[in-house]
Amino acid sequence: MLIDKISITRRRFLAAIGAALTLAACAPMPSAPAADPLPSWNAGPAKARIVDFVKAVSTGGSKDYVAPADRIAVFDNDGTLWLEYPLYTQVKFVFDRIKALAPQHPEWQDKEPFKSVIAGDLKGAMASGEKGVLQLLLAAQAGTTGEFAAAVNDWIAKTPDPRFKRTYDTLIYQPMQEVLRYLRANGFRTYISSGGSVEFMRPFTERVYGIPPEQVVGTRQKLLYEVKDRQGVLVMQPQIEHVNDGAGKPVGIEVLIGRRPIAAFGNSDGDLAMLQYTTTGGGLRLGMIMHHDDAVREYAYDRNSSIGKLDKGLDEYRSAGWTLISMKNDWKEVFAPLK
Amino acid sequence: MLIDKISITRRRFLAAIGAALTLAACAPMPSAPAADPLPSWNAGPAKARIVDFVKAVSTGGSKDYVAPADRIAVFDNDGTLWLEYPLYTQVKFVFDRIKALAPQHPEWQDKEPFKSVIAGDLKGAMASGEKGVLQLLLAAQAGTTGEFAAAVNDWIAKTPDPRFKRTYDTLIYQPMQEVLRYLRANGFRTYISSGGSVEFMRPFTERVYGIPPEQVVGTRQKLLYEVKDRQGVLVMQPQIEHVNDGAGKPVGIEVLIGRRPIAAFGNSDGDLAMLQYTTTGGGLRLGMIMHHDDAVREYAYDRNSSIGKLDKGLDEYRSAGWTLISMKNDWKEVFAPLK
CA A277/CA B144 separation, integer angstroms: 13
Contact A335, A178 (CB under 8 A): no
Taking the CA of residue B111 and the nearest CA in chain A, the distance in Å comes to 33
Q: Taking CB atoms and an 8 Å cutoff, what residues of chain A touch B18? A: 17, 21, 25
Least CA distance to B230: which residue of chain A? A280
**Number of CB atoms found within 10 A of residue A22's CB:** 16
Q: With contact defined as beta carbons under 8 Å apart, do A338 and A168 qualify?
A: no
CB–CB contact B17 A22 (8 Å)? no
Set of chain A residues whose Cβ sits within 8 Å of the Cβ of B4: 3-7
Q: What is the mean pLDDT of chain A?
A: 92
Q: Residue A115, exposed/middle/buried by CB under 10 A (0-12, 13-18, 19+)? A: middle
Q: Provide, rounded to the nearest whole percent, the portion of chain A with pLDDT above 90.
A: 86
Contact A22 B25 (CB under 8 A): yes
Report the alpha-carbon distance of residue A33 to residue A50 in Å, rounded. 15
Task: Please indicate whether, in this complex, the C-beta atoms of B3 and A6 are within 8 angstroms of each other.
Answer: yes
Closest Cβ–Cβ partner in B17, B254, B280 for A234: B254
Sign of CA dihedral B221, B226, B228, B234: positive
Residues 6+ apart with CB under 8 A from B58: B28, B30, B65, B66, B71, B186, B187
Distance from the B227 Cα atom to the nearest Cα atom in chain A, whole angstroms: 9
For an interface test with A, the pick among B12, B17, B144, B214 (most A C-beta atoms closer than 10 Å) comes out as: B214
Distance from CA of B256 to the nearest CA of A (A): 5
Element (H, E) at A312: helix A312-320
Contact yes or no for B213 and A281 at CB 8 A: no
> Would you say residue A31 has pLDDT above 60?
no
The pLDDT tens digits for A297-328 are 999 999 999 999 999 999 999 999 999 999 99
CB contact under 8 A, A232 and B277: yes
Give pLDDT tens digits for A123-173: 888 888 889 999 999 999 999 999 999 999 999 999 999 999 999 999 999
- pLDDT attached to residue A21: 44
Q: In degrees to the nearest 10, what's the CA dihedral of A250, A252, A258, A259? A: -40
Closest in B69, B223, B232 to A212, CB measured: B69
> Mean pLDDT by 10-residue block, N- to C-terminus, for chain B (339 residues)?
39 45 47 80 98 98 97 98 97 97 96 95 88 95 98 98 98 98 98 98 98 98 97 98 98 98 98 98 96 98 97 98 98 95
Q: What are phi and psi of A2, to 5 degrees?
A: -85, 150
pLDDT of residue B101: 96
A121 and A102 Cβ atoms separated by less than 8 Å: no
Closest residue in A to B235 (Cα) is A251
pLDDT of A276 above 90: yes
